[in-house]
Amino acid sequence: MRAKSGDGWDSLLATSDVLGTGWFAASAARAQPGSTVVVVGDGAVGLMAVLSAKQMGAERIIAMSRHKTRQDLALEYGATDMISEPGDEGVARIKELTKGVGPESVLECVGTKESMMQALNSTRPGGSIGYVGVPHGVEFDGQQLFFAQKSLLGGPAPVRRFLPDLMDLVLERRINPGKVFDLELADVGEGYRAMDERRAIKTLFRV
Structure confidence at residue 140 (pLDDT): 65
Which tens digit of pLDDT belongs to each residue from 128-177? Answer: 999 988 766 667 666 666 666 788 788 888 888 999 999 999 989 999 99
36-40/151-155 β-pairing: unpaired
Cα–Cα distance between 44 and 48 in angstroms, integer? Answer: 6
Which of 11-25, 100-114, 159-173 shows the lowest mean pLDDT across its residues?
11-25
Q: What is the CATH superfamily name and number for domain 18-175? A: NAD(P)-binding Rossmann-like Domain (3.40.50.720)
Cα–Cα distance between 107 and 109 in angstroms, integer? Answer: 6
Mean pLDDT of 33-50: 96
3 falls in which pLDDT band (50, 70, 90)?
low
Cα–Cα distance between 139 and 7 in angstroms, integer? Answer: 43
Question: What percentage of the chain exceeds 90 in pLDDT?
Answer: 60
Report the chain's mean pLDDT, rounded to a whole number: 88
